[in-house]
Chain A
Amino acid sequence: MSFDVGYTTADGRTIGGVLMEMKNITLRFGGVTAIKNISLDIREGEIRAIIGPNGAGKTSMLNVINGFYHPQEGEIIFRGEHRKRMRPYQAAKQGISRTFQNVALFSGMTTLDNIMAGRQLKMHKNFLWQMLRYGPALNEEIEHRRKVEEIIDFLEIQAIRKTPVGSLPYGLQKRVELARALAAEPSLLLLDEPMAGMNVEEKEDMSRFILDVNDEFGTTIALIEHDMGVVMDLADRVVVLDYGKKIADGTPNEVQKNQDVIDAYLGVA
């Protein structure tokens, strides 16, 4: 695989060039090394999965990608530019949005308001205009509401539009979180265990939505997931981490056959 030209996936989608490249990333917390010299790339339009046993450094990797952690060594190139030390909101401005392992929504607010919050970076009228809710601010809000309604329709959450998210079941909260991430119209969407704690039916729904997001909006998706069946079905390429090291990288088929991966998951006798 060359770095500039894309490739064609098993289901016939064409994947573009490199969107984000991480070279030799090392991340330490005091004496603990969470990530050891890992390099990986994410290409335009693909669904990239990061998997590994507990404590392998998956979430740390995601936090590095969205600028929450700053690696001690290595470099990150996003859209061909070297990334400097930055804050997560700057990453959001660059078009990276994410969901969290344990849902992080404003639980007292309605689904609609939570998703509207996801458009915050795209609203330009200042606080006073918004308080007046008149003229340009009103037009802006209508425009954003329309976008949000499209997402609500897309994720089929019309019935909970006005429900405070705190009272929703977990599976739906996950969906609202995805909706909020989508509201920012990201070019790179990071999903941290989008299917944790869901039943089979909810997992299938969520898988459908992830594929549809990728297909309809052309969003590049990087996801962490424990359910191997889901990962193998969804992902175009999978990177496997174990104890902060990369042990495999390739298509689901290649990764499944890799002896190191089998050892990491099943243990070595």
Chain B
Amino acid sequence: MRVRVGVSQQGCLATLRWRSGGNILTSRIAPTGGLDSIPKLLARNAREFGDRPASREKEFGIWQSWTWAEVAEEVNALAMGLLALGLNANDHVAIIGRNRPALYWSMVSIQSCGAVPVPIYQDSVAEEMAYVLDHCSARFVIAEDQEQVDKVLEVQERLPALEQIIYYDKRGMRKYDHTAMNAYRDVQEEGRAGHYRLEPILQERLKSVNYDSTCVMLYTSGTTGRPKGVVLSNRNIIEASRTSAEFDHLNAGDSVLAYLPMAWVGDFIFSIGQCYWTGFCVSCPESPETMQEDLREIGPSYFFAPPRFFEGLLTAVMIRMEDAGPMKRRMFSYFMAHAKKVGGRLLDGKPVSLIDRLKYALGNILVYGPLRNRLGMSRVRVGYTAGEAIGPEIFEFYRSLGINLKQLYGQTEASVYITVQPDGEVRPDTVGVPAPGVEIRIGETGEVFYRSAGTFVEYYKNPESTKSTKDPEGWVATGDAGFFDEETGHLKIIDRAKDVGKMADGSLFAPKYVENKLKFYANILEAVLFGAETDKCTAFINIDMSSVGNWAERNNIGYSSYQELAGHPKVLDAIQAHVEEVNASLANDPMLNGCQIHRFLILHKELDADDGEMTRTRKVRRRIIDEKYADLIAALADGSTEISTTTEVTYEDGRKGSISATLEIRDAKVFPRRAEAA
């Protein structure tokens, strides 16, 4: 199991060396070489890379940096301060806020005290927050600012375990009752002041932290039911970070931008796991709105974003190109056509003729390079997207520019990694081969199971769910249906296993597969397919405001709201054309040609996490939609051409209102199955 004293700290550090001839640090440490917790990795980094930057944050318009030595000091000061406040080992401490170095450090401080950090999505409403805080019995909460403190105070009465709120940003906090509230920096000062008394206690606590103690607890957003607290040990996090870092050759010279929610497992692996393992620098944006600009300034070498981000960026580029001069437009379309032909092949190291190479090099100077720079991806060496399927055209666009974008498949319970695409084997329609150290098998029903060192310990206070998800041999059910592509050996995911159903005639019903096809159109933001157990599929559509809005402006179509634009007959025409194209392509698919969409409507509001219709990671919650829009679903099925409805909406501040609308239901052309037609 765990080897702790077997290898001396000095011994394992000696294997950390500068690679000859380069300035890239490589860490070659035996998996259990004494480095069995994040605080120990921090201590190593402070010794080894003491004067290299560990964290950056833009504040007051300037990038502020902290070296590993400084980070270690900050982390220890807060840890001692938390001890002074009475933090016990195994306590849970919630962290709520946007990506900021201090909040990342606080997680390590909490671990140093032998306690468990529980990051919470910062855009959760108070109600959702209350459930998590209560479920993990958080004694302390570290909140970023007044907004988050207010949310906690709102539900404080239902949280008997809560004792202390620590806030980072002092603004607007002066008038609050401070009997059970402290500023982050004051806690650190307290820790520094009590250094002589607290340091030995901290050292004692640190000793008790090992490979099997809990590293972090992350709540899954839960497409079904209440969120579950996934307990991940140091072993899970460090092993997943180590193997993935080796797979992609991550090292201390890399740089990332932390902008995805801190409560999401991916961010924890990138911004803490891999960061502490390899010693690379994590930068935090100035504010969520400046992310795009900060991305350009930092130019990360390792980048992760959900498909939605890449889609949005591509849409923005295309809109700007429409507005560019004719010369630029022609240059862009000429070289992009060339990139489409050879860019991906070049990236995969496949043979390309000399002429094409030269043309690509010219395009690189004129178009691809400047565009990559504009996108903030000039230095991206490894880029990942995951979470949802990405449109093949979007995927190819980035790859053709020379950005090494790949896909991975993972989940919280696996400490992210289940499958990844190796360099040179990248495809838009698969999620890759098993990640290093991961075993995969496909169940009888088509469900994907995996087993790895990153496999979670348990669901907190929920042995039944743990049992039904993870069997005694360690195999975990992903809940996704998929199969290995025989030609490539890559895994392909079709849909959530429980969502895959049958049509009345017995053919396969895979809603997500069809929805993804719809969502690949820039005009369609979200789609929900219905029709299991019936003979005709129907769909809800959400239009994409930025794309359709831009189109409306060009065509002099006035609108004042989403609802008005969504109900415009010309918009309906455009969407109908997309639906029919999807039907045509489905008709050619022998497995899924029963899923053609017979009728559809455009929803009068955008599906939103605040209304519970989607998860915070923007996955559709079918059960809630089935309940909430039962009238619309019935109208789709019964053949009516119009339906009036009223829907409750929740505003960002938690207040409720309602909107009513009359929606037009359209019939779409359905194509005969290829088999029948032939």
Contact = CB atoms under 8 A, between A and B. Distances in A.
B60 interface: yes
Nearest to B653: A204
B560 interface: no
A156 B59 CA distance: 11
B320 interface: no
A145 B60 CA distance: 9
A154 B174 CA distance: 15
A156 B169 CA distance: 13
Contact of B286 (A145, A158, A212): A158
B6 interface: no
Contact of B175 (A12, A146, A152): A12
Contacts of B287: 156, 158-159
A201 B61 contact: no
Interface in B444-492: none
A153 B58 CA distance: 11
A11 B171 contact: no
B171 to A, nearest CB: 6
Given A158-B58, A158-B287, A201-B651, 17 more contacts: A11-B175, A12-B175, A13-B175, A149-B61, A156-B287, A158-B286, A159-B287, A159-B290, A159-B293, A161-B61, A200-B651, A212-B171, A212-B172, A215-B174, A215-B175, A216-B171, A216-B172
A73 interface: no
B652 interface: yes
Contacts of B286: 158
A150 B60 contact: yes
B172 A153 contact: no
B293 to A, nearest CB: 8
How extensive is the interface on chain A, given as a class? Answer: 20 to 34
B175 A158 contact: no
Contacts of B172: 208, 211-212, 215-216
18 contacts: A12-B175, A145-B61, A149-B61, A153-B59, A153-B60, A158-B58, A158-B61, A158-B286, A158-B287, A159-B290, A159-B293, A161-B61, A201-B653, A204-B653, A212-B171, A212-B172, A215-B172, A216-B171
B610 to A, nearest CB: 13
B290 A152 contact: no
Nearest to A153: B60
Interface of A: 11-13, 145-146, 149-150, 152-154, 156, 158-159, 161, 200-201, 204, 208, 211-212, 215-216
A105 B125 CA distance: 36
Contact of A158 (B289, B651, B652, B653): B289
A149 B175 contact: no
Contacts of B58: 158
Most buried by B among A153, A201, A208, A211: A153
Contacts of B293: 159
A154 B60 contact: no
A204 B175 CA distance: 19
Interface string B40-70: 0000000000000000001111100000000
Contacts of A204: 653
A251 B652 CA distance: 31
A12 B58 CA distance: 36
A248 B58 CA distance: 49
Nearest to B287: A158
Main SS at interface, chain B: loop
Nearest to A200: B651
A214 B118 CA distance: 35
Interface in B318-354: none
B615 to A, nearest CB: 23
Interface string B290-315: 10010000000000000000000000
B171 A154 contact: yes
A152 B287 CA distance: 11
Nearest to A146: B60
Contact of B60 (A12, A149, A208, A212): A149
Nearest to A211: B172
A81 B180 CA distance: 46
B408 to A, nearest CB: 30
Contacts of A145: 61
Contacts of B175: 11-13, 215
Closest 4 CB pairs of A and B: A159-B289, A149-B60, A159-B290, A158-B286
Contacts of A153: 59-60
Most buried by A among B61, B62, B287: B61
B541 to A, nearest CB: 26
Interface in B114-135: none
B290 A158 contact: yes
Most buried by B among A149, A158, A215: A158
Nearest to B292: A159
B524 to A, nearest CB: 26
Nearest to B172: A212
Contacts of A215: 172, 174-175
A240 B652 CA distance: 33
A233 B62 CA distance: 36
Contacts of A156: 287
Most buried by A among B60, B290, B652, B653: B60
A169 to B, nearest CB: 13
A141 to B, nearest CB: 13
B281 to A, nearest CB: 21
Nearest to A159: B289
A47 B261 CA distance: 38
A146 to B, nearest CB: 7
A208 B174 CA distance: 14
A147 to B, nearest CB: 10
Nearest to B147: A208
Nearest to B58: A158
Interface string B150-175: 00000000000000000000011011
Nearest to A204: B653
A157 to B, nearest CB: 9
A154 B146 CA distance: 13
B176 to A, nearest CB: 11
Contacts of B289: 158-159
A153 B653 CA distance: 22
Nearest to A11: B175
Nearest to A212: B172
B492 to A, nearest CB: 39
Contacts of B59: 153
A152 B290 CA distance: 13
B376 to A, nearest CB: 15
Contacts of B652: 201
A264 B293 CA distance: 51
Nearest to B174: A215
Interface in B634-678: 651-653
A193 to B, nearest CB: 23
Nearest to B60: A149
B56 to A, nearest CB: 15
